[in-house]
Amino acid sequence: MPRRLLSARELFEQQRDRLALRWLAGQDGGDRAIEAGEQSSHRPSLIGYLNVIHPNTVQILGREELAWLDSLDARQRWETLQKIVGFGPLALVITRNQGCPGDLREVAGESRTPLWTSAQAGHELLTQLQYVLTRALAPRLTLHGVFMEIYSIGVLITGDSGLGKSELALELVNRGHRLVADDAPEFTQIAPDVLDGHCPELLQDLLEVRGLGIMNIRQMFGDTAVKRNKYLRLIVHLVRAGDVTDPEGLARLTGETAARPVLGLDVPVFNLPVAPGRNLAVLTEAAARLHILRAKGDDPAAAFLARHSTLLDRSLP
């Protein structure tokens, strides 16, 4: 997997308008960057108010932080400023367009440390940049399949080539469900138990079906037929009917279910056999409904097995 980097210049350009950012000094350091996963091995957070003990990747200087610097004598202040830039932060940000101390601007310029000012308050900067940095640097994985929104949950349809994943997706779109991404959806772990899936820009709104070629789903079915992103909750894996194991055993009651690790999280999987005459669109919809029921604590198979056990107990002498 290629390294993913976020540079100070990229972050500035992305958030300049939203946070009313201005670049005060250290423009030569715009190429300094942070790598995805780098922050996980360090104690400091990605962003926070000025901390000279455990420095944050992006350091915010509000009124209190600037007042604290002003309280230091000349020697302590210079040593502290040298220590701040010596940690190599991605950027320093002054809040509420406060005046920038001349010595801070000088130190930032000499050390090529990006120094910005923003019209926003510190808590607004903290919230927005924390969100942006967390998503940009979160673990990410590309999987092969078609990612859909079915009954409000994200469902990834996988299987070997030629089993009809795209045809199934087209049928589901025609039945009112929404396409997120075809062929190569990207998944990002944005929380300990949340995987967000979205479509690469190159493949946006497109679905490729053998015999028909590439189709623009948004143009053919309208804006409501596509969705920008969705949380991954379920995988429907298409398998050839001859590859199904234990067709007469417990799987007849519970379904061909399993789990697949994705970025360290176990995602439930329904294995659907593909055979002539089977309506895969209806089966996929049923799998989504069944998953929703199980997530609420209602498992029809478990309830049936419990009834069966109770009946057996009653029949014993």
Catalytic residue list = 144, 165, 183, 252
Q: Which of 181, 127, 108 is nearest to 149 (CA)?
A: 181
How many whole angstroms from its chain centre is CA 225? Answer: 22
**Secondary structure string (H, E, C) spanning the chain:** CCCCEEEHHHHHHHHHHHHCEEEEECHHHCCCEEECCHHHHCCCCCEEECCCCCCCCEEEECHHHHHHHHCCCHHHHHHHHHHHHHCCCCEEEECCCCCCCHHHHHHHHHHCCCEEEECCCHHHHHHHHHHHHHHHHCCEEECCEEEEEECCEEEEEEECCCCCHHHHHHHHHHCCCEEEEEECCEEEEEECCEEEEECCHHHCCEEEECCCEEEEHHHHHCHHHECCEEEEEEEEEEEEHHHCCCCCCCHHHHCCEEEEEECCEEEEEEEEEECCCCCHHHHHHHHHHHHHHHHCCCCHHHHHHHHHHHHHHHHCC
Query: In this structure, how many other beta carbons lie within 10 angstroms of the beta carbon of residue 98?
Result: 14
Mention every residue, 6+ apart, whose C-beta is less than 8 A from residue 215: 170, 206, 207, 208, 209
Q: How far is CA 216 from CA 150, 152, 223, 271, in A?
A: 19, 22, 11, 29
